[in-house]
Amino acid sequence: MAGGIFSPLGSCSELEKANCHPLVCLLCHEPYQQPCLLDCYHNFCASCLRGRASDGRLRCPLCGHPSVVKGGTGLPPVDRLLQFLVDSSADNEEDVQCANCDRCCTKAELDTMYFCNTCGQPLCAPCREETHRARMFARHEIVSLSKRTKDIHKKCPLHEEPYIMFSTEKKSMLCINCFRDMQGESRAHCIDIETAYMQGCQRLDQAVMAVKELQTSTREAIVLLKAMIEEVHNSASEEEAAINSLFSRMQEQLSERKKTLLKAVQSQHEEKEKAFKEQLAHLASLLPTLQVHLVTCSAFLSSANKAEFLDLGYQLMERLQRIVKLPHRLRPAQTSKINSEYRAEFARCLEPLLMLSPRRSLVGSAGGIGPGITGTNMLPGGQCSKTLMVPSCPPTSDKMSTGPMVKKPTMHRYISTKVLLAEGRETPFAEHCRNYENTYRMLQTEIQGLKDQVQELHRDLTKHHSLIKSEIMSEILQKSLQMDVQIAAHYSAVEMMRSVFEEVWEETYQRVANEQEIYEAQLHDLLQLRQENSCLSTITKQIVPYVRSIAKVKERLEPR
């Protein structure tokens, strides 16, 4: 049965052309010599695998899967099944001669040859019909040549007796002596050779069907992967073309916008330079006039007597006062900063191409504390808080703990707010800043009071190992929770003002740039308070078990 599964091996040149032959090694492209089976079920010649093992492991040359090898040879065990197929294929290539008529059969006639397992001789088709049809050969076992039974499979190597049974438990053939030596329980698993052969063929057919299904699925997967590789190639080509096209259009748009911006910069430069030069010319002409009148006053005082001074002095004073009251442009009428808003213009020209939503150039949005600013230990003015803080105390509000950080510390916000309010302009943002400062100071005072209380309790625990005011723990926790609600509410109220202020910022961005920084710093300060309060709550919760433990000990000791 097994000899007819594969076609006979051809010459070496045919093997090289068809290197996927199941009986040809994938490394040397020669028929297998002592084929070895790896854990990945790939086979290679023993000579091809020799010397490839390292630290008891052998990697498959085809797929790279490691296989464990045992023994000093460094090789996996020989694949008996594949060796049998190789030997059977080699046997089929030999010239076969009929034992009765001495007729030699060609390879094309091998399928018509038979073999008598009883006589142990090959027979051609005519001799089988003429000689082995007699009654004396009725008990002879005649099979096709490909299914002949070799001597090694005829008799038991231990007892030299022919096989008559098969053990389904041990998966091995048994002679009469092997059957007698078996225990009674094991004999129940023994069946005759013919029945075992039929059952084995049925199970093999089932296994073959499962492998065929896997083969079909594998081929479909290969076709799918090849199609996907082609699709990836096409998609990459389309993506590259789209990128090049978009890049070209972006370059064109940026080039046009660049020319427009450069013209705008040049126009601003000319206008500002002209205005500054006119003002400079006016001041340059004013300076000699002032110098002449100063010299005149000095000479008049040194040369005029009292009568002359009273006669001409008031006239000179009126002239000097009129000169001072003239509208002299001493301060620049405009700034020297040329602002073309090139970033916003470039972004605006790319928005139709990139399908971006319009963005406003803001200092930053509300968020947590940025790098280099530790919200748990910074107080207004840059001073460090002495209250013990836990290093990893996250804010309790997700909304208040995300987003880019504000670079301006609290002190900068405080000074900027003072400068803004000192200008005396009544704007919605100035009114907001006044209200904010009052509320912030109140919240900051409350937080500082709670921090001092927790610091005192912490000192009692760490230094004195005792509690002086154990009854205030719940009160601190309650106040901390209330402060958290107040800070969150104030944060939400300030956050709701964003849309109102952004409309004003869009109209006069340069003037409100400072206001934006102050606003973001306000949110930053609230985050600091929120984070400090969160860490304060965490520390308080950590101290609670110790407080309760010490309180219980104190209660036990007081009666004594």
CA atoms within 13 A on the CB side of 315: 7
One domain for residues 43 and 141: no
Q: Are the C-beta atoms of residues 56 and 69 closer than 8 Å to each other?
A: yes
Residue keyed to tokens 């963005």: 359
Number of domains in the chain: 3
One domain for residues 234 and 335: yes
One domain for residues 252 and 347: yes
pLDDT, tens digit (0-9, with 9 covering 90-100), for 76-102: 888 888 887 777 766 555 567 676 676
The two structure tokens encoding residue 538: 């965490």
Residue 393 CA to residue 535 CA, distance in Å, equals 5
One domain for residues 81 and 185: no
Per-residue model confidence (pLDDT) at position 90: 61
Residue 303 CA to residue 309 CA, distance in Å, equals 9
Specify if 443 maps to a domain.
no
* CA atoms 109, 110, 115, 120: torsion sign: positive
What residues contact residue 143 under an 8 Å CB cut-off, 6+ apart?
A: 114, 115, 117, 149
One domain for residues 43 and 135: no
Specify if 102 maps to a domain.
yes
One domain for residues 262 and 283: yes
Residue 283 CA to residue 329 CA, distance in Å, equals 8
Report the predicted TM-score, pTM, of the whole model to 2 decimal places: 0.37
One domain for residues 222 and 156: no
Conformational region of residue 156, where left means phi above 0, alpha means psi within -120 to 50, and beta covers everything else:
beta
Per-residue model confidence (pLDDT) at position 63: 85
- Where in the sequence is the domain holding 55, given as residue range(s)? 35-88
Per-residue model confidence (pLDDT) at position 262: 93
| Distance set, CA 147 to CA 213, 417, 543 (Å) | 27, 103, 87
Our measurement of the distance from residue 42's CA atom to the centroid of its chain's CA atoms, rounded to an integer in Å, reads 35
Per-residue model confidence (pLDDT) at position 469: 61
Specify if 282 maps to a domain.
yes
Q: Are the C-beta atoms of residues 131 and 125 closer than 8 Å to each other?
A: no
Per-residue model confidence (pLDDT) at position 259: 92
Residue 478 CA to residue 513 CA, distance in Å, equals 40
Specify if 76 maps to a domain.
yes
One domain for residues 72 and 133: no
Tens digits of pLDDT across the chain (560 residues): 333 333 333 443 443 444 467 788 888 888 888 888 888 888 889 888 888 888 888 888 888 888 888 877 778 888 888 887 777 766 555 567 676 676 776 665 666 677 777 776 777 877 777 776 666 776 677 777 666 655 445 678 788 788 888 888 888 888 888 888 888 788 888 888 888 888 888 888 888 898 898 888 888 888 888 888 998 999 999 999 999 998 999 899 899 999 999 999 999 899 989 988 888 888 888 888 888 888 888 888 888 888 888 888 888 888 888 888 888 777 777 788 888 888 888 888 888 877 644 444 333 333 333 333 333 333 333 333 333 333 334 444 444 444 444 444 466 677 777 777 777 777 888 888 888 888 888 888 888 888 888 887 777 776 665 655 666 777 888 888 888 888 888 888 888 888 888 777 776 666 666 777 888 888 888 988 888 898 888 888 888 888 888 877 777 776 65
- CA angle (85 as vertex; 82, 88 as ends), nearest 5: 150
What residues contact residue 375 under an 8 Å CB cut-off, 6+ apart?
A: 368, 369, 527, 528, 531, 532
Q: Which one of 149, 164, 195 terminates a domain?
A: 195
One domain for residues 80 and 114: no
Per-residue model confidence (pLDDT) at position 266: 93
Specify if 359 maps to a domain.
no
557: part of which helix (H) or strand (E)?
helix 509-557
One domain for residues 281 and 169: no
SS3 labels along 403-457: CCCCCCCHHHHHHHHHHHHHCCCCCHHHHHHHHHHHHHHHHHHHHHHHHHHHHHH
Per-residue model confidence (pLDDT) at position 127: 78
Q: Are the C-beta atoms of residues 199 and 192 closer than 8 Å to each other?
A: no
Specify if 129 maps to a domain.
yes
One domain for residues 281 and 233: yes
Residue keyed to tokens 């600091």: 528
| Distance set, CA 548 to CA 340, 459, 461, 469, 470 (Å) | 66, 16, 12, 12, 8
Specify if 66 maps to a domain.
yes
Reference 457, options 552, 347, 549, 540; nearest CA is: 540
